[in-house]
Chains A and B, each alone.
Chain A
Amino acid sequence: MRIRIRHDTTYHYDVPVGGVIQMLRLTPRNHDGQFVVDWRIDVSEDCRLDAQEDAFGNIAHVFTADGPFVALTVLVEGEVETQDTGGLIRGAVERFPPSLYLRETALTAPDAAIAGFAADARAAAGADPLATLHEMLARLHRDVVFDTDPTHAATTAAEAFALGRGVCQDLTHIFVAAARALGIPARYVGGYFHRSDGVVAQDAGHAWAEAHVPALGWVAFDPANGICATEAHVRVAVGLDYLGAAPVRGARDGGGAESLAVRLLVDQAARQVQS
């Protein structure tokens, strides 16, 4: 599938901002199931985008924009050719052995409830790690209610699991925490998802998980959709948790209160994108 993405984020500041620095992880790379045909980032203010490869192999861009200004737009757009690989991720840039992805982070620390959830899933699935991961995927998709209200970017896996609610980020954190609790290396993936129901305009990017299974390598699980990753998934960045793969991390000098407007269109490239 050829997927066309147009993602712009506009920040409005109540008073003119003195300066902004942002670190962007918004550039997909190729792997066996994905080929980046065309991609660009455009920042509304005059600035230089410095590209770096981060420790996990993601392409990161840093820019600093000097104020004063009252609005800033970061536009990302491009086309990616994808193939269904049954969720297997091969040919991706790997900078660490899988065991690194057993690290616990503040956002993915398992509490007793998550550890119990993981143990139950394993008991139900038998000892096989792949079956266990599928069991966790199905249970999370069934039991955790998709709800954008109660959680935010800093919500931990344990908090979201206790609520039984959350967005794709929360579901991914829970999945990652549970897999690691069983000694299965797991990581967070940030990216885009093409909806099959024809809805093109979305509120936010997508997130899912990858877990390492000895015989197969990295396998992608999308607990928000209850499926392994397909040709509908465009993989942009990986990390130990949301913070490591965050599309934008930034800081600013002044500016008062900030409001954010996101416009995201994910469509098949053959079709006309209305913007």
Chain B
Amino acid sequence: MPAAFDEMRGSGGDLRPAYLQLARWLGELPPGFLPQRMREAELLFRRIGITFAVYGEADASERLIPFDVVPRILAASEWATLTRGLEQRVKALNAYVKDVYGKREVLRAGIVPEDLVFQNPVFRPEMNAQRVPHDIYVFIAGVDVVRVDADSFYVLEDNVRTPSGVSYMLENREVMMRLFPDLFARHRVAPVENYPDELLATLKSAAPATAAADPTVVLLTPGIYNSAYYEHSFLADKLGVELVEGRDLLVKGEIVYMRTTEGLKRVDVIYRRIDDDFLDPLAFRPDSALGVPGLMSAYVAGNVTLANAVGTGVADDKAVYSYMPEIVRFYLGEEPILKNVPTWRCREPGHLAYVLAHLSELVVKEVHGSGGYGMLIGPRADKATLAAFRARLERDPKGFIAQPTLALSTVPTCVEEGIAPRHVDLRPFVLTGRDRVRIVPGGLTRVALKKDSLVVNSSQGGGTKDTWVLDA
């Protein structure tokens, strides 16, 4: 694997301009200063209460995601490129979802194979030919981006169902500003604190035509047992909207209402953090106790906006991902600004043969997996793991894609032996309203804390960092 690009030192070891002040500051610090600040940060997070349920760990149903106090810094020009690329990508994703549930031109043109849509478990036949308010499907997208050198950003994954993590972006910034006011004084860091305002503006802009002038927005959560419940309550609080569970809402005459102490109140926009399957027991899983009976009937009648729309998952699984460059060209007639990682679709026999022959060099992922589960990193796997994965691939080739192992960029990180480079990715949040696209400068940087590890998922021992975008 080639040496990784370091965002502070580049490939050659010379300091990159965005990091000049940070490097100087790090050099001035007395020994023991950063570890002390790390402990303070942890205390602050414990007091705020950010926790994250880690699947597969019975003894730790809630645990703190490690936070690294060394910020990751992006120059204004780098952010400008990213912004253009993200906006383009999300525009194409929206057009794709609309088309798949509408005219299906992308299928007729042969850009995406029909079975990838119709046989996709997250395709929702119920959405077929239904109009959604203002034709917006993906209001909130979390696009995972990695970089491999000074100029190349790759999209690793699109998340257009119920992407999470934005609370960390906001909390990380708040904690950093408390701990390091002097470091902020040396930089012009673009703010991220306005994210809740931007999100609320986005949601309100998408209210159905029948809504009141000041639409009522609620955040629908599956409840306290959901791994992201903290984020749901945090965001509802920041947005100044009601945090509701399914039982707090009801549908009457194709209108959604919220039960309040003063009686029923009409709801216009639902920022839902419940998966499609559980939204409405009359339309989807009949055993769902989390949803709202009849919600889909109000939705298809055009009386409520769901953000994100039902069925957006058809745009973000890993098999569809491999078609994204063509999807961008098809709908926008433009070349994609952000790169796609070359992807072998194991559903195609030729691709599968290549993947099986090069397993030890590739990263293999489940088409419907997430969170870094069920993934093979060929170069790091032992023989037994490779053999087991080979068997899985041969059994269910459609369930997998493979990619070259990318040398993710590294960023200085505070670890036991001092400051050392660790691999990172970035999840910026892209908001699409009726009026415009909004992207706050920054996002969630996830860092693989283990030396040489490429897995940044918090469920697999990754941590987070504050992400600074410098004003020009």
Contacts and interface: CB of A to CB of B under 8 A. Distances in A.
Interface of A: 19, 21-23, 48, 50, 52, 54-56, 60, 62, 64, 66, 95-97, 99-100, 102-104, 154, 240, 243-244, 249-251, 253
Given A96-B118, A99-B114, A251 B294 contact: yes
A99 B281 contact: no
B351 to A, nearest CB: 22
Contact of A23 (B127, B252, B297): B297
Contacts of B254: 50, 62
A180 to B, nearest CB: 10
A55 B282 contact: no
Contacts of A102: 115, 118-119
B130 interface: yes
A143 to B, nearest CB: 29
Given A21-B293, A64-B251, A95-B129, A52 B119 contact: no
> Which has the most chain A C-beta neighbours within 10 Å: B127, B128, B297?
B297
B177 interface: no
B125 A62 contact: no
B253 interface: yes
B301 interface: yes
A100 B118 contact: yes
Contacts of B375: none
B118 A103 contact: yes
Consensus secondary structure, chain B interface: loop
Given A21-B294, A55-B126, A64-B251, 14 more contacts: A19-B252, A21-B251, A21-B282, A21-B293, A23-B283, A55-B127, A55-B128, A62-B254, A96-B128, A97-B118, A102-B119, A154-B286, A240-B125, A251-B281
Interface string B99-119: 000000000000000110011
A96 B128 CA distance: 9
A253 B281 CA distance: 14
Given A96-B118, A99-B118, A250-B282, A19 B250 contact: yes
Nearest to B114: A99
B34 interface: no
Contacts of B119: 102-104
A96 B254 CA distance: 26
21 contacts: A21-B251, A21-B252, A21-B282, A23-B283, A23-B297, A52-B301, A54-B126, A55-B126, A55-B130, A64-B251, A64-B252, A95-B129, A96-B128, A99-B114, A100-B118, A103-B125, A249-B281, A249-B282, A249-B283, A249-B286, A250-B282
Contact of B293 (A55, A60, A104, A250): A250
A62 B115 CA distance: 32
A199 B271 CA distance: 53
A95 B300 CA distance: 16
> Which has the most chain A C-beta neighbours within 10 Å: B114, B123, B282, B301?
B282
Contact of B253 (A50, A240, A243): A50
Contacts of B281: 249, 251
B51 to A, nearest CB: 32
Interface size class of B (residues with CB under 8 A): 20 to 34
B141 to A, nearest CB: 25
A240 B119 CA distance: 12
Interface string B250-265: 1111100000000000
Contacts of B252: 19, 21, 64, 66
A54 B282 CA distance: 12
A54 B128 CA distance: 8
B261 to A, nearest CB: 17
Nearest to B130: A55
Nearest to A20: B293
Given A64-B252, A95-B128, A249-B282, A50 B118 contact: no
A62 to B, nearest CB: 4
Nearest to B300: A52
Nearest to A101: B118
Interface string B125-157: 111111000000000000000000000000000
A99 B297 CA distance: 26
Nearest to A47: B253
A50 B301 CA distance: 9
Nearest to A100: B118
A64 B126 contact: no
B95 to A, nearest CB: 20
Interface in B400-414: none
A249 B126 CA distance: 15
Contacts of B282: 21-23, 249-251
Contacts of A249: 281-283, 286
A64 B118 contact: no
Contacts of A103: 118-119, 123, 125
Contacts of B250: 19, 21, 253
Contacts of B294: 21, 23, 62, 64, 251
A102 B123 CA distance: 13
A55 B301 contact: no
A230 B469 CA distance: 70
A66 B252 CA distance: 9
Contacts of A95: 128-129
